[in-house]
Amino acid sequence: MLPPAAPLYLRSPQTRTRSVLLRAHFQHFPERIFLEAADLSALTGDDQCLLVSLQGQVNRKQPRLYFYWGTDTTNQTWLNTITVAHRISMDPWEFLAKYRSEIRGAVIYDLNVPDTVNVATAIASMRGGVIATAELAKAHQLNVIEDLTGKFANGMAAYQWAFDTIWPHMPNRILTAISPTNSAQAANVQWTTLLQVTQPVTDGSNKAVYTADLTPFLTNGGAVYVRWTDAYTNDGWGPSVDQVTVSADGNVIASFQPGSASEAPYVFDLDSSQTASGWRFADGTEYFIYKFVPPAGTKTLTLSTEMWNEYVVSATSTAPSMQQGNPNFRDYIVAAQAPVFWLDPQDPTQTALFTSILKRAEPDTPYLGWFPQGHEMPGVTLCGQYGSPVVAADFYINGSVFAGGAPAPISSRITHPSVPKLQNKIYLTLTMVEGDNAQYNQHRMRSIWDDAGRGTIPLNWSISVLLYDLGPSILAYYQRTATANDLLMAGPSGAGYTYPAVWPAAALEAYTQRSGAYMRATGMDTLFAYNRNGSTDLPFTASIIDRYERNVPGLLGIAYNYESSSQVSFVDGMPLATLIGVNDAASGQTQLAQVAAAWDGSAPLFVAAGLESWNMTPTDAKNLVESLGPQFQVVRGDTFFQMLRATQKKS
């Protein structure tokens, strides 16, 4: 099937090469004419997986199905925004009956080996099927294409088999990575609080070993479940844990450091918690749960845990959740016929296969999804070492709809406000970070974009230029509704999230070429970037900057990293500014007051700040700006870099 025609501004002979660059990797689907929509919230995760895999098969031919679930209302908001005629069904199962003739049957996955959900997805995408449990396939009288029940001892065996047998026959366009399952919470589980802070702590000053009695949860030799949650969900300083020990009648039955191989036997549900330098943390609504099975006849059970910050530790003897299939992003994976896996870049037993997958892919092949246990920095580093930029997309919903349709009216035109006369002021530019993240662009960014404070102050919005392919109607909406104070800035670090320092030189050349093509096509000439190796922030070298200058003509400047201070510099004439990280308006006021106190007023000072987009809104940014003294002048990022360039010319 041929992709739809390129937008008019990409059809001239002068832009033909750029068009090839843009369309090399991502699947394009035909025009959306009419959508049938349904809310899947009342269904189980396995039900959702069946219907979302059906959606992928149906939408590959032409986008017709649109599903949403959960409490995030932006999915319904976008359905109305894209202005495609639609009908909302009260019975989503009607679509299985309606489109049954477009599928060949079901590939059965084995929930005893959760990773078979992903392997089944790859098989189904290539063989025209849906994925299902054996019970669902029987209930809906689906022909069984292949049954993976009992075929694999574990997830690694399943992925190795797919790597050897299935993936070589799939289109070599993209790699995808999503969790095979989600946790479904059990009803009426009673948690008993064991340990809890009594006041906010954000500096680790309460780090200590704490003990708790688990004996009351011993029930006929059953398991005991222990959960860590955030005591103050609004400030992002949840529990941090670097040692867990459980003793039965004085004998140690479990002792591990989170994130290590010794943790694995006790993991029940890690939710979205993350590890860093040997400790696990859970902020906001995140949590993690361990399962301990004491020996038969145990009389006393004791927990000992070293932890700090804002913790709540609770326990229950009731299994608090169960694993069900994860439908997120699965429609796009099926429609694009992409390999999908879930391998941890920090687990030595999984990294070898992860590396083999990256080696087999062509350089500059995008990796869409995320990483187990939130291992962002090691994951992005590993992908970069083999020339794969990352797109956070594991919660990108209806991708097979947003990547289809008639070409959206994306503007490649670049306009700049007038540049003010340089004075002895503190010139401040504010950037909402997270722009590389496609699911952020779809969900959180839409929520805060609609905030009443937007447009009242100059504000940079980092955004993924890959929306040109992944969600053109999303990008077109932001362009169309931007005010004169809103600047769309290419998100880290161009055509996908990556750390340029770790890339092979030849692959980095191709990556910056593609970044330039996307930035020109989407009308962006400022860039927000990260440059790291693992968790270590790095400055930009001349060789990296030269590639950006050569391949992104007209690039005004680069704001980069997220640090404790903002420093401006020039590398081969390119203005660079590190971002001082601002997590909330209150701390931002303190940080910027310190900047003002240290400034002697004898020359202009340039300061770039990155606003934590998950915590802050345009109204928060407005309140922050209104708290500043008259020595500050807030400007858009393009103005900021133009003024910086003017200072170099004067010197």
Residue 165 CB contacts under 8 Å (≥ 6 apart), including other chains: none
Same domain flag for 389 and 436? no
Handedness of CA 334, 22, 528, 450 (dihedral sign): negative
Structural domain contains residue 546: yes
Domain C-terminal end among 257, 292, 319? 319
Residue of 586, 590, 568 lying closest to 637 (CA atoms)? 568
Task: Give yes or no: residues 584 and 501 share one domain.
Answer: yes
Q: What is the DSSP string of 18-84?
A: HHHHHTSSS--B-----EEEEE-TTS-HHHHHHHHHHHHHHHHHS--EEEE-SS-THHHHHHHHTT-
On whether both 297 and 157 belong to a single domain, the answer is: no
CATH number for the domain including 474? 3.20.20.490
| Number of neighbours of residue 234 by Cβ within 10 angstroms | 10
Q: What is the mean pLDDT of residues 644-650?
A: 86
304 and 373, same domain (yes or no): no
Could you list the residue range(s) of the whole structural domain that residue 236 is in?
192-319
CA 123 – CA 167 distance, rounded (Å) = 9
pLDDT, the chain, mean: 93
Q: For residues 200 and 573, give the distance between their C-alpha atoms in angstroms, rounded to a whole number.
A: 46
**Same-domain check for residues 372 and 438:** no
Q: Which residue, of 297, 319, 341, is where some domain finishes?
A: 319
Across the range 160-181, mean pLDDT stands at 96
Does residue 407 lie within any of the structural domains? no
Write down which residue in 402, 418, 442 finishes a domain: 402
Q: How many CB atoms within 10 Å of residue 272? A: 15
What is the band of 549 on the pLDDT scale with cuts at 50, 70, 90? very high
The answer to whether residue 296 scores a pLDDT higher than 60 is yes
The answer to whether 525 touches 556, Cβ cutoff 8 Å, is yes
Same domain, 279 and 374: no
Q: What is the mean pLDDT of residues 563-580?
A: 96
State what percent of residues in the chain have pLDDT above 90: 87
CATH of the domain at 274: 2.60.120
CA separation for the pair 162, 406 (Å, rounded): 35
pLDDT in tens, 52-89: 999 999 999 999 999 999 999 999 999 999 989 999 99
User: Does any domain span residue 485?
Assistant: yes
**Does the residue 227 lie in any domain?**
yes
Query: Is the confidence at residue 319, as pLDDT, over 80?
Result: yes
- 2 pLDDT higher than 50: no
- Ramachandran region, residue 337 (left: φ > 0; alpha: ψ -120 to 50; beta: rest): left
Q: Residue 528: inside a domain, yes or no?
A: yes
Q: Is residue 419 part of a domain?
A: no
Span 641-647, average pLDDT: 96
Whether 252 and 205 share a structural domain: yes
pLDDT at position 7, please?
28
Q: Which pLDDT score, from 0 to 100, does residue 467 have?
A: 95
Is residue 286 within 8 Å of 271, Cβ to Cβ?
A: yes
For residues 461-485, give the mean pLDDT: 96
How far is 267 from 345, CA to CA, in rounded Å? 18
Instruction: Kindly state the percentage of the chain with pLDDT values over 70.
Output: 96
At 252, list the tokens: 């140690």
- Total number of domains in the chain: 3
Task: Count how many Cα atoms sit within 13 Å of the Cα of residue 648 in the half-sphere of its side chain.
Answer: 15
Give all strands (DSSP E) within 505-556, no chain letters. Answer: 526-529, 532-533, 536-537
Q: Return the pLDDT at 405.
A: 64
pTM for this prediction: 0.88
How confident is the model over 116-125, as a mean pLDDT?
A: 98
For the cut 80, the answer to whether the pLDDT of residue 390 exceeds it is yes
For residue 155, being part of any structural domain is answered with yes
Same domain for 12 and 153?
yes
Is 430 in the same domain as 382? no
Q: Are residues 352 and 303 in the same domain?
A: no
Q: Are 480 and 564 part of one and the same domain?
A: yes
> Would the pLDDT of 146 be above 60?
yes
Residue 126 counted as domain residue = yes
- 35 and 155 co-located in one domain: yes
